[in-house]
């Protein structure tokens, strides 16, 4: 690059920081341009001499700590020649950390003299009860004078009160990133501000150039706050503009109206329901019925607590579409759940689902199940029923997405437990309709308002909060197996008592057993060297020979053949099994009203929402439910506090907030589903609710005036950079 070419955000880092450093930044942190580095924000800020709280560090964690050298000691190594240098560092919290350096390094002992402050980076390990960093990278922070070893530019970099600590890698420590950032900030022309001036002034937001400089090199805490607020606003605004634009576009698509028909299948179904719909089910049904009757496709999210009756609401919507001459498809995440839906709908519909059979109702349709495990003859018959339109309702797994599954007139797609499906899978099913079908996505994981506004911002949202009559309360308790093994013995006796009383039980394990890692088969050991999670195939025989000897025990997990899974579920449902030892394959949709107790082993290995979903499998009948969360997590640990919180409430919305607090924002936004890291680096869906709401309001106004942002090209480019096309597609479909 010649001197005549000014550096911009698009300039390659190798032209600014050198080939070797640029290669490390690209290979380890995926940073390639000046803009990439400018948007690689500090993870936190340390203040020299302030409380860093070394005591809070977890074993196995990659850390960068600001600490002061307290003492050094040199001793000979036992196993090999040479000496071991041990350096004890601490902070004002009273916590200490040992740094170990192998080999004869007298120069390092002179360098790391007591009283010196430094940044130390490495992986926390534990040896004889003491936490340590082995051979850490470090940079010392000094006041100058004899013996000063930190390079002049590094001292200058950290001379301010606030020291940025970046997301780093072993090969690229935080101080190397900080040095590169300084080069970029001093060299690169700041980008033009994409925000409309009126909006920026009205919302009291600093300019983009100021924000980018202050977030990396804050002149004060106040300026850092203003910088973060501006950059958070950019993220929230980009997402909301994308969602509002796509919601408007989707509202203009044509769809075949599917109005309700008096005296049709839906009316006949309502007349034969063995119970009354809740007022919530009726209200949501009215909303959905109006959507289906419209000339544009419904895009609605139906959320409701475990057991709130979402499936009946979905079935009524499907029957309205069938009454209007169309077909409805329900996509379920597992064969167990798809088969359960099939059995449940056949039972509810009775003669209404027996078209072509003796004793069928006049308006009857057919309900077909399409899964990957169907035999060739059964598959051909089912596909013919679907293609020729005789099957008004089609239930299935991913098998519905394959070529060869054709619909006569697909009018409604229902996606159950939508978070289990990627964008491409939902798209594949929608593409099987000639015109965009109506779409209803359902989740039993309650969604905090900010998540609904951000992830599902282009969907209308309906919520079922009431539980149907006859549902029983569920009591939950933590069983501290390590501290009080007698409590675990009591838990197994409790299972026997429930079985003696004529009820059934679930025992849930985090792992299947020997075999490759899958969604329900996590890696066997974690980074902290804990024992492998308990496995279904290992626990079931131990229970059969030990505390549950004599009970009828079944095993259910995702690696069983489909017909075997179905047979096990049927046996449990009809009461010929007393206890089902299973993985999270029972997490959603499984409905056995006679099951009253669930024991979750290694409960700390599950997420908050998962535990809430799992315990929803009990208490589905007239008898009270009991969920026992067994864990070896120590009292006072974050894992134990999480379990205590789950045990303390059955309010799914409170637990959803807790879940959000403990998860990375990228996980919430579906980075895993889309295959990309989250582009939201600062925005917190939990803490920034007001900012998100304000950004939504501004986005509605701006897109209402300028739908394609044609009058705001810089803003359109900024949105494209922050929310790339795949992210936008993910956000669009939830």
**Res. 322 pLDDT band, cuts 50 70 90:** very high
Residues 6 or more apart in contact with residue 565 via CB below 8 angstroms: 335, 336, 339, 556, 585
- Residue 731: pLDDT above 60? no
pLDDT of residue 730: 43
Tens of pLDDT along 463-476? Answer: 887 766 666 778 99
**Comparing 306 with 581, which gets the higher pLDDT?**
581
The mean of the pLDDT values for the chain is: 82
pLDDT surpasses 50 at 670: no
Structure confidence at residue 2 as a pLDDT band (50, 70, 90): very low
Q: Band of the pLDDT at 206, cuts 50, 70, 90?
A: very high
Q: What is residue 459's DSSP assignment? A: S
Distance CA 592, CA 449 (A): 31
At residue 156, the pLDDT reads 45
What secondary structure letter does DSSP report for 192?
Answer: P
**pLDDT greater at residue 692 or residue 520:** 692
**Which residue shows structure tokens 């797609």?**
413
Q: Could you tell me the pLDDT band of residue 129, with boundaries at 50, 70 and 90?
A: confident
Q: CA angle, 65 as apex, 70 and 50 as ends, to 5°? A: 75
- State both tokens at 664: 């990375």
Instruction: Summarize pLDDT for 65-107 with one digit per residue, the tens.
Output: 888 899 998 888 766 677 888 999 987 777 889 998 887 777 8
- Name the residue among 480, 446, 507, 512 with its Cα closest to residue 654: 446
DSSP string, 598-663: EEETTGGGS-HHHHHHHHTTSS-SSSPEEEEEEE-PPTTSHHHHHHHHHHH---HHHHHHHHHHHS
Q: Answer yes or no: is pLDDT of 548 > 70.
A: yes
Higher pLDDT: 581 or 446? It is 581
| Residue burial 636-672, b: 16+ Cβ < 10 Å; e: rest | eeeebebbebbbeebebbbbbbbbbeeeebbebbbbe
Model confidence, pTM: 0.64
The dotted CATH code for 265-464 is: 3.40.50.300
Most confident option among 87-101, 377-391, 669-683: 377-391
CA distances in angstroms from 459 to 619, 728, 732, 733, listed in the order given: 31, 14, 8, 8
pLDDT band at 161 (very low <50, low <70, confident <90, very high): low
- Considering only CA atoms, which of 271, 227, 314, 240 is closest in space to residue 45? 227
Looking at residue 173, its pLDDT comes to 85
Location of each CATH 2.40.50.140 domain in the chain: 24-30+39-189
320-to-325, 348, 512 alpha-carbon distances in Å: 9, 16, 41
Integer CA distances (angstroms), 446 to 45, 432, 660, in order: 34, 30, 11
Dihedral angle computed from the Cα positions of residues 106, 111, 115 and 119, in that order, rounded to the nearest 10 degrees: -120
Higher-confidence residue of 725 and 205: namely 205
Give residue 152's pLDDT.
Answer: 39
Lowest mean pLDDT among 53-57, 148-152, 504-508: 148-152
| pLDDT on residue 503 | 96
Pairing of strands 96-102, 130-134: parallel
More confident residue, 144 or 706: 706
pLDDT tens across 399-432, in order? 787 778 889 999 999 988 655 454 555 566 667 7
**Spatial CB neighbours of 645, under 8 Å, sequence gap ≥ 6:** 608, 655, 658
pLDDT at residue 446 above 70? no
Strand order in the sheet with 625-631: 474-480, 625-631, 595-600, 504-508, 579-582, 553-556
pLDDT category of residue 667 using cuts at 50, 70 and 90: very low
Q: How many Cβ atoms sit within 10 Å of the Cβ of residue 564?
A: 13
Estimate to the nearest angstrom the gap between the alpha carbon of 644 and the chain centroid.
Answer: 21
Q: Is it the case that residue 127 has pLDDT exceeding 60?
A: yes
Q: What is the CATH number of domain 24-30+39-189?
A: 2.40.50.140
CATH 3.40.50.300 domain residues, the chain: 265-464, 474-649
pLDDT at 530: 66
Higher pLDDT, 127 or 548: 548
Mean pLDDT on 432-450:
77
Q: What percent of the chain has pLDDT over 70?
A: 83
User: Tokens 């009860």 label which residue?
Assistant: 129
Residue 587 clears pLDDT 70, i.e. is over it? no
The top-level CATH class assigned to 474-649 is alpha beta
Q: Which tokens belong to 96?
A: 């200490």
Specify the residue for token string 């001292």: 155
201 or 245: which leads in pLDDT:
201
Q: Say what the pLDDT of residue 138 is.
A: 84
Could you report the per-residue pLDDT of 227-265, keeping only the tens digit for each? 999 999 999 999 889 888 888 887 788 889 999 999 999
- Give residue 719's pLDDT: 85
For 322, list phi and psi in degrees, rounded to 5. Answer: -65, -40
């Amino acid at each position: 690059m010649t001197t005549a070419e000014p550096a911009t955000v698009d300039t390659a880092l190798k032209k600014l920081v050198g080939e070797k450093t640029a290669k490390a930044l690209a290979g380890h942190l995926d940073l390639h341009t000046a803009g990439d580095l400018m948007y690689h924000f500090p993870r936190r800020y340390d203040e020299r001499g302030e409380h860093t709280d070394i005591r809070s560090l977890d074993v196995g964690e990659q850390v960068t700590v600001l600490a002061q050298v307290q003492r050094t000691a040199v001793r000979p190594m036992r196993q090999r020649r040479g000496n071991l240098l041990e350096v004890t560092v601490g902070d004002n919290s009273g916590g200490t950390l040992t740094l170990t350096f192998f080999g004869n390094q007298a120069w390092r002992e002179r360098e790391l003299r007591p009283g010196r402050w430094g940044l130390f980076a490495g992986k926390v390990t534990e040896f004889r009860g003491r936490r340590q960093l082995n051979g850490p990278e470090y940079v010392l922070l000094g006041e100058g004078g004899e013996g000063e070893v930190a390079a002049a530019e590094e001292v200058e970099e950290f001379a301010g009160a606030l020291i940025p600590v970046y997301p780093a890698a072993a090969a690229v420590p935080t101080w190397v990133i900080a040095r590169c950032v300084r080069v970029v900030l001093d060299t690169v022309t700041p980008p033009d501000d994409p925000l409309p001036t009126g909006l920026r002034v009205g919302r009291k937001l600093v300019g983009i150039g100021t924000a980018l400089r202050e977030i990396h090199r804050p002149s004060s805490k106040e300026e850092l706050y203003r910088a973060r607020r501006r950059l958070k606003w950019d993220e929230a605004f980009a997402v909301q503009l994308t969602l509002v634009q796509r919601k408007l576009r989707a509202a203009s698509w044509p769809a075949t109206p599917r109005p309700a028909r008096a005296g049709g299948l839906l009316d006949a179904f309502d007349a034969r329901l063995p119970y009354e719909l809740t007022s919530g089910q009726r209200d949501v049904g009215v909303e959905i019925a109006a959507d289906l009757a419209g000339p544009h496709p419904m895009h609605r999210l139906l959320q409701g607590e475990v057991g709130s009756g979402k499936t009946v609401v979905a079935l009524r919507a499907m029957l309205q579409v069938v009454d209007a001459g169309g077909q409805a498809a329900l996509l379920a995440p597992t064969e167990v759940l798809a088969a359960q839906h099939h059995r449940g709908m056949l039972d509810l519909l009775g003669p209404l689902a027996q078209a072509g059979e003796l004793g069928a109702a006049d308006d009857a349709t057919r309900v077909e199940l399409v899964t990957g495990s169907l035999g060739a003859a059964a598959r051909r018959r089912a596909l013919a029923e679907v293609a020729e339109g005789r099957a008004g309702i089609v239930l299935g797994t991913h098998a519905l997405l394959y070529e060869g599954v054709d619909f006569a007139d697909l009018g409604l797609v229902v996606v159950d437990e939508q978070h289990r499906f990627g964008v491409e899978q939902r798209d594949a099913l929608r593409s099987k309709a000639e015109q965009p079908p109506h779409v209803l996505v359902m989740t039993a994981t309650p969604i905090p308002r900010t998540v609904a506004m951000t992830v599902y911002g282009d969907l209308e949202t309906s919520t079922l909060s009431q539980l149907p009559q006859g549902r029983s309360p569920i009591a939950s308790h933590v069983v501290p197996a390590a501290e009080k093994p007698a409590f675990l013995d009591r838990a197994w006796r409790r299972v026997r008592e429930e079985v003696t009383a004529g009820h059934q039980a679930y025992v849930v394990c985090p792992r299947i057993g020997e075999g490759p890692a899958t969604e329900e088969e996590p890696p066997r050991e974690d980074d902290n060297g804990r024992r492998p999670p308990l496995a279904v195939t290992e626990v079931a025989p131990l229970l059969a020979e030990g505390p549950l000897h004599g009970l009828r025990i079944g095993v259910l997990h995702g690696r069983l053949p489909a017909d075997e899974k179905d047979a096990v579920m049927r046996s449990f449902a009809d009461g010929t099994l007393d206890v089902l030892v299973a993985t999270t394959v029972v997490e959603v949709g499984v409905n056995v009203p006679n099951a009253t107790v669930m024991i979750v082993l290694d409960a700390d290995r599950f997420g908050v929402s998962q535990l809430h979903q799992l315990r929803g499998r009990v208490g589905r009948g007239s008898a009270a439910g009991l969920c026992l969360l067994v864990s070896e997590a120590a009292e006072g640990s974050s894992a134990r506090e999480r379990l205590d919180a789950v045990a303390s409430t059955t309010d799914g919305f409170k637990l959803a907030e807790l879940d959000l607090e403990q998860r990375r924002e990228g996980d919430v936004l579906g980075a895993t589903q889309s295959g990309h890291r989250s582009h939201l680096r600062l925005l917190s869906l939990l803490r920034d609710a007001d900012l998100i709401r304000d950004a939504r309001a501004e986005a509605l106004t701006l897109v209402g005036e300028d739908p394609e942002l044609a009058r705001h090209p810089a803003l359109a480019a900024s949105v494209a950079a922050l929310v790339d096309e795949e992210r936008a597609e993910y956000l669009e479909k939830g």
